Copies of this chain bind each other. A is one copy, B any other.
Amino acid sequence: MASDTPWLTAHEEHVWRAWLTLNARVNAALHRELQDDADLSMPDFEVLVHLTDDPDGRVRVTDLARLLLWERSRLSHHVTRMERRGLVERVECPEDARGAFVAVTPAGRSAIGHAAPGHVRAVRRLVFDGLTGEEVDGFGSTVDKLLARMTDTAGPAGASDAGTCA
Contact = CB atoms under 8 A, between A and B. Distances in A.
A165 interface: no
Contact of A142 (B24, B135, B147, B154): B135
B25 A23 contact: no
Interface in A116-166: 116-117, 120-121, 123-124, 126-128, 130-131, 135-140, 142-147, 149-150, 153-156
A142 B18 CA distance: 10
Given A143-B19, A143-B22, A8 B128 contact: yes
Indicate the size class of the contact surface on chain A.
Answer: 35 or more
A139 B18 CA distance: 11
28 contacts: A2-B116, A2-B117, A5-B116, A5-B117, A6-B121, A6-B124, A8-B120, A8-B123, A8-B124, A11-B137, A12-B124, A16-B123, A18-B140, A22-B143, A22-B146, A22-B150, A24-B155, A25-B69, A25-B150, A28-B154, A28-B155, A130-B149, A131-B142, A135-B145, A138-B138, A138-B139, A139-B139, A139-B142
- Give the number of times this chain occurs in the complex, counting copies: 2
A29 to B, nearest CB: 4
Interface of A: 1-2, 5-8, 11-12, 14-16, 18-19, 21-26, 28-29, 69, 112-113, 116-117, 120-121, 123-124, 126-128, 130-131, 135-140, 142-147, 149-150, 153-156
Contact of A15 (B14, B113, B136): B136
A58 to B, nearest CB: 19
Given A15-B139, A25-B154, A139-B15, A146 B117 contact: no
